[in-house]
Amino acid sequence: MKRSEINGIIDYTIAAARKFQFPLPPFAFYCTEEWEQLGHDQQEIIDNMLGWDITDFGCGNFSEIGLTIFTFRNGNFQQKEKYSKPYCEKLLFVRDGQILPFHFHWYKMEDIINRGGGILEVTLYNADEKEEFAASDVVVSMDGRQVIVPAGGRVILHPGESITLKPHQYHQWQGVPGSGDIALFEVSTTNDDRVDNRFHSVGARLPEIEEDVPAKYLLFKDYERYVKD
């Protein structure tokens, strides 16, 4: 992905968050100079991968296949004594018609909540022993109601509705075309996107970035380049 595209995506999402009335914390707006001067009292942001995360999953077509993420809070797999939070909260911003490819998590359990905007369609499979699509029914909780979904079946999340996804449950979603952008929130157990995603058939989770313009904002994968020890 080009840095100019990433800058534009974050600008778009900041404007949308204001429209949806979801205020973002101060570090969402830090420029590179502020990251370079970050104090040790904000080390939690770095260690726990808080902030922006943009991906096109290696497909090269973000508007069709992609996701914009802002992580508000998170625990830490490797430093549990220092960071004892067992939970994570994210904004998952889905453009109209945008697809998140099939994947599951080995460890994370997550609630996906449609907080406003368009309609989300989620397709589900269990993973079998070879981490392929199983033929078995998928059992999920949707707003406190147990729902049994046949393999490859779909559920719909209107604004205000949610689904709980357990480890080893493959899920793909798409913003229903024409229904508008969607502000999803994720509430989950501690998350590390570098090691806890099993994608079925797409490329890298974290993008390679072409630095065609200076970074206006940083992704969490940029921190090691800009933030001093």
Q: What is the pLDDT of residue 194?
A: 86
pTM given for the model: 0.95
CA distance 53 to 210: 16
Amino acid occupying residue 126: N
CA distance 216 to 165: 34
Residue 147 predicted with pLDDT over 80: yes
User: Is beta strand 154-157 parallel, antiparallel or unpaired with respect to 120-126?
Assistant: antiparallel
**pLDDT tens digits for range 38-58:** 999 999 999 999 999 999 999
The tokens for 174 are 């798409």
CATH class of 3-226: mainly beta
Per-domain residue ranges of the chain: 3-226
Q: Is 181 exposed, middle or buried (0-12, 13-18, 19+ CB in 10 A)?
A: buried
